[in-house]
C-alpha cells in the first residue's frame, strides 16, 4: 500500500471504532530512541525515516510532528503523502496534545504499549486504548528480534550483577512503605546495565528486548526463551535471575502486591494498567534509580572509554590519511567516490580495532549541502559523489567492549576556502572549546552551561536547533540520560562520572554543515591559587582523541588561550595515538597535530 492507501485504511478502522483521531508515536514498548524495525510504525505509515516523529490522523487531516533536526528530511520524505509537517521546535507550534485538545472533538485512539505513563496522563482528550496498526501492518512486518543475549563481563562493566542488585534493593527498601515491593523495568539499557547482559536486538545499541521486575527477594527477566542459549542460562542461574517469556510480564505484574515502583517517563501505560490497584497494589511513580546510577561511570568504565578512544583515534587517523592521500587518486577508470564509500571505508578501519563490536550509530557523511541536514542519511543508492573540493561533515562512532565513542569532524577537501566557511568553523570551534574548558560548582545543570558553546555564533546572529550535548552509555546506547547540555530546563545536575557530548554546529542550507564533537567526562576540578571558597568544583576531561582541521580556522578570531588549548590537545592526541601507528601513519599524524600560532 502507498501512504495514501494506508491512511485511508486506518481511517476506515477509526470510523469502525468510533474514533475522531488516532495517534502513532515513534516509540516502542520500551520508550527507546532507537528500536527494532518491528516497531517502525511511523515510518511504515508515513514514509518518514527520522528517529523522532509522531503522526496524528483525523478524518480529514494527517500531521507529522518532528524537531528541527529533521525539517529538511521530513520535507522531502512527506512529499505526495498528504501528511502535513508540524515543526515542533518552532515556538509557535502546538504540541500533539494541545493540538488535539483544540482541534478534535471526540475520542482519540492510542496504543497504550507505545506511550509512557506520563505521556498518556498528559492527554486532555477522551482516550481509547486500541492498536490499529497491528491489523493493517500484516505484510512484511519484521519480527521481534530473536538474537542471543550474552553476559557482559564485570572486567568491562566494573561491577558485578550481585553488587548492582544489592545497591538497588537498598535504595528501594528505603523508599518502600511496605515490606513487599517491586520495581518494574522496561528501558532496555537499564536492564542491560543492571544484569550485565548485552545483545544484538537494536542496530548500534547492544541491548536485549526484554522487561524485568526486581523484587526484594528475586529478579525476573521477561525475554523470548529463544534468545537464551546454555551459557546465557548458566550465567542467569548463577546470578539468581529467573526467566519468563517476554509476553508474560503483564500477567506477572497483575499478581504483584505491596508497593510497585515504576518510572512513568519510561514504563508504558499498558504495564501501568496491569498493576492491580483494586487488589491492594500501590503504584508509585518514581525516577528510576538505575537510570541515575548507570549514568555515573565508575573508574573501570571511564578507563575503558579512554581505551576505546585510542582505538577510535587510530581508525580515524588511518581514515583521514586514506581520504587525503588515496581516495581521489585511484585513476580515472575507478568508480567515483561517494558518501556511501566513505562510510564503508571508515567502518573498515574501525573494525580493525581491538574489542570493536559495531558502530554506535549509522555514520553521517554529509558532503557540501548534505552536511546541513543534521541527521542526514546516505544510502548506497541515494548518496552524493564526493570530489576533492568543498566541505565534508563526518559524524560517527564505535561500540567497543571497552566503551562507546561518538565524534564529529568537519574537514575541507580542497579548493579555495571561503572566508564565511572559516568564520563559521571558527565560531563552532570556539564554542566547543569554551564548553570543554568550563569549570563549574557542584549542582550545575547542563542548561546552565549551554550558552558557553553558543556565545560566539550568537554574537554573529547564528544558532542551531539541536542539543549541544547528550549523555553517552558505556558499551550501551550512544544517547542516554538523564544528563544533557541543551537549552531545555533539565533539572538533573552534572555529576562526577557523567559523560556528555560537546557538539555545537552551524548549518547553511545548500552550502555546508559544520559540527565539531568530542565526548567529555565530568571530573573534580583542580584547585587553584585563585580559589577563595571550599565549594566543590567540577571540570571536564576531554575523552575523544582526533585532530581538528586547522586549515579551516580563522586565527584572527582565536584567543591565545584557545590556541594553547588546541595545541595541548593535539599534543595529547599525538602522544596517545602514535605508539599504535605505523611510521608512515605517525608522520601523517605529526603534521596534523603540529602547533598553530597567530
Distance, in Å, from the CA atom of 108 to the CA atom of 25, rounded to the nearest integer, reads: 13
User: pTM, whole model, 2 decimals?
Assistant: 0.93
Tell me the DSSP string of 327-376.
TT-S-TTSPPPBHHHHHHHHHHHHHTSTTEEEESS--EEEEGGGGGSTT-
Q: Which helix (H) or strand (E) covers residue 522, if one does? A: strand 518-524
Give the residue among 442, 451, 433 at the shortest CA–CA distance from 498: 442
Closest of 246, 282, 279 to residue 262, by C-alpha: 282
Cα separation, 440 vs 519, whole angstroms: 18
C-alpha 136, offset from chain centre:
30
The full set of domains in the chain, from first to last, is 3-129 (3.40.350.10), 150-294 (3.40.350.10), 300-444+497-520+544-592 (3.90.230.10)
Q: Which helix (H) or strand (E) holds 393?
A: strand 391-396
Task: Provide the pairing of β-strand 391-396 with 407-412.
Answer: antiparallel
Q: What is the pLDDT of residue 533?
A: 63
DSSP per-residue string spanning 203-243: TTB-----EEEEESS-EEEE--GGG--HHHHHHHHHTTEEE
The CA distance from 518 to 433, in Å, is 10
Q: Are 339 and 366 in contact (CB under 8 A)?
A: yes
Q: For residue 581, what are the CA distances in angstroms to 306, 317, 584, 589?
A: 17, 9, 8, 9
Which stretches in the chain have pLDDT values below 70?
330-335, 528-534
Distance from C-alpha of 438 to C-alpha of 440, rounded to nearest angstrom: 6
How large is the angle between the packed helices 560-577 and 419-436, nearest 10 degrees?
80
d(CA 570, CA 313): 12
Q: d(Cα 168, Cα 172) in Å, to the nearest integer?
A: 6
Give SS3 for 488: coil
Question: β-pairing, 480-485 with 469-471?
Answer: antiparallel
- Whose cell is 548507570? That residue is 294
Residue with cell 513487599: 180
What is the 3 state secondary structure string of 10-60?
HHHHHHHCCCCEEEEECCCCCCCCCCCHHHCHHHHHHCCCCCCCEEEEECC
The pLDDT score that the predictor gives to residue 333 is 46
Q: Is 184 helix (H, G, I), strand (E, B) or coil?
A: strand
Cell numbers placing 223 = 525475554
Beta bridge partners of 119: none
Q: How far is CA 497 from CA 14, 133, 293, 520, in A?
A: 49, 41, 10, 10
Phi and psi at residue 548, to the nearest 5° = -95, 160
Q: What is the rounded distance in angstroms from the CA atom of residue 523 to the CA atom of residue 313?
A: 22
Q: Give the three cell numbers for residue 326.
A: 588515496
Give the model's pLDDT for residue 73.
85
Phi, psi of 564 (to 5 degrees): -60, -40
Check: CB of residue 213 under 8 Å from CB of residue 184. Answer: yes
- Provide φ and ψ at 291, rounded to 5°: -55, -45
Rounded-to-integer distance, Cα 573 and Cα 547, Å: 7
Distance CA 457, CA 429 (A): 10
Query: Which bin fits 437, alpha (ψ -120 to 50), beta or left (φ > 0)?
Result: alpha
Helix (H), strand (E) counts: the chain: 18, 28
pLDDT at position 332: 43
Strand pairing class (282-285; 259-262): parallel
* 337-369 tens-digit pLDDT: 999 999 999 999 999 999 999 999 999 999 999
* Of residues 471, 396, 468, the one with CA closest to residue 434: 468
d(CA 193, CA 168): 12
316 vs 178, 187, 425, 545, CA distance in Å?
Answer: 54, 32, 20, 9
Quick one: DSSP state of residue 275? S
The cell 563559521 sits on which residue?
424
The rounded distance, in Å, linking the Cα atoms of 375 and 507 is 12
Grid coordinates representing 501? 557530548
CB 445 within 8 A of CB 491: yes
Amino acid at each position: 500500500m502507498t501512504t495514501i492507501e494506508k491512511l485511508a485504511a486506518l481511517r476506515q478502522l477509526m470510523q469502525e471504532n468510533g474514533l475522531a483521531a488516532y495517534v502513532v508515536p515513534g516509540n516502542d514498548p520500551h520508550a527507546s530512541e532507537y528500536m527494532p524495525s518491528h516497531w517502525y510504525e511511523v515510518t511504515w505509515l508515513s514514509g518518514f525515516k527520522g528517529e523522532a516523529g509522531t503522526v496524528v490522523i483525523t478524518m480529514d487531516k494527517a500531521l507529522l510532528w518532528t524537531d528541527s533536526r529533521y525539517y529538511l528530511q521530513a520535507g522531502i520524505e512527506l512529499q505526495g503523502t498528504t501528511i502535513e509537517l508540524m515543526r515542533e521546535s518552532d515556538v509557535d507550534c502546538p504540541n500533539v496534545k494541545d493540538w488535539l485538545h483544540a482541534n478534535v472533538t471526540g475520542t482519540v485512539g492510542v496504543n497504550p504499549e507505545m506511550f509512557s505513563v506520563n505521556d498518556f496522563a498528559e492527554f486532555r482528550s477522551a482516550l481509547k486504548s486500541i492498536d490499529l496498526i497491528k491489523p493493517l501492518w500484516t505484510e512484511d512486518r519484521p519480527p521481534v528480534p530473536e538474537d542471543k543475549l550474552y553476559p557482559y563481563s564485570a572486567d568491562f562493566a566494573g561491577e558485578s550483577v550481585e553488587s548492582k542488585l544489592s545497591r538497588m534493593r537498598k535504595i528501594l527498601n528505603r523508599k518502600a512503605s511496605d515490606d513487599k515491593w517491586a520495581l518494574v523495568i522496561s528501558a532496555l539499557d537499564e536492564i542491560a546495565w543492571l544484569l550485565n547482559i548485552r545483545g544484538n536486538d537494536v542496530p548500534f545499541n547492544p541491548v536485549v528486548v526484554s522487561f524485568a521486575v526486581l523484587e526484594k527477594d528475586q529478579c525476573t527477566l521477561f525475554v523470548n526463551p529463544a534468545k537464551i542459549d546454555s551459557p546465557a542460562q548458566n550465567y542467569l542461574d548463577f546470578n539468581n535471575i529467573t526467566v519468563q517469556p517476554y509476553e508474560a510480564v503483564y500477567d506477572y505484574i497483575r499478581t504483584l502486591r505491596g508497593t510497585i515502583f515504576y518510572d512513568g517517563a519510561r514504563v508504558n501505560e499498558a504495564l501501568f494498567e496491569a498493576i492491580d490497584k483494586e487488589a491492594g497494589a500501590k503504584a508509585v511513580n518514581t525516577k528510576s534509580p538505575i537510570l541515575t546510577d548507570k549514568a555515573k561511570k565508575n573508574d573501570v568504565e571511564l578507563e575503558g572509554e579512554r581505551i576505546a578512544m585510542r582505538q577510535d583515534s587510530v581508525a580515524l587517523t588511518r581514515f583521514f590519511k586514506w581520504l587525503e592521500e588515496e581516495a581521489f587518486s585511484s585513476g580515472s577508470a575507478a568508480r567515483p567516490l561517494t558518501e556511501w564509500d566513505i562510510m564503508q571505508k571508515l567502518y573498515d578501519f574501525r573494525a580493525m580495532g581491538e574489542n570493536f563490536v559495531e558502530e554506535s550509530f549509522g555514520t553521517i557523511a554529509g558532503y557540501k549541502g548534505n552536511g546541513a541536514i543534521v541527521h542526514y542519511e546516505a544510502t548506497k543508492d541515494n548518496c552524493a559523489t564526493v570530489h576533492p573540493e568543498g566541505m565534508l561533515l563526518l559524524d560517527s562512532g564505535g561500540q567497543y567492549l571497552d566503551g562507546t565513542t561518538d565524534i564529529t569532524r568537519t574537514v575541507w577537501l580542497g579548493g579555495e576556502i571561503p572566508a564565511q566557511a572559516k568564520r563559521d568553523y571558527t565560531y563552532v570551534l570556539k564554542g566547543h572549546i569554551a564548553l570543554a574548558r568550563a569549570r563549574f560548582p557542584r549542582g550545575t545543570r547542563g542548561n546552565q552551561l549551554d550558552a558557553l558553546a553558543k556565545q560566539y555564533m550568537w554574537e554573529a546572529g547564528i544558532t542551531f536547533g539541536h542539543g549541544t550535548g547528550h549523555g553517552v552509555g558505556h558499551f550501551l546506547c550512544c544517547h542516554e540520560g538523564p544528563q544533557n547540555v541543551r537549552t531545555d530546563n533539565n533539572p538533573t545536575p552534572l555529576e562526577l562520572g557523567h559523560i556528555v557530548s560537546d557538539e555545537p554546529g552551524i548549518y547553511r542550507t545548500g552550502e555546508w554543515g559544520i559540527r565539531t564533537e568530542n565526548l567529555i567526562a565530568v571530573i573534580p576540578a583542580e584547585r587553584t591559587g585563585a580559589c577563595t571558597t571550599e565549594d566543590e568544583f567540577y571540570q571536564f576531561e576531554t575523552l575523544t582523541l582526533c585532530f581538528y582541521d586547522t586549515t579551516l580556522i580563522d586565527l584572527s578570531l582565536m584567543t591565545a588561550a584557545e590556541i594553547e588549548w588546541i595545541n595541548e590537545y593535539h599534543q595529547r592526541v599525538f602522544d596517545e595515538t602514535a605508539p599504535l601507528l605505523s611510521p608512515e601513519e605517525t608522520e601523517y599524524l605529526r603534521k596534523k597535530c603540529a602547533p598553530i600560532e597567530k
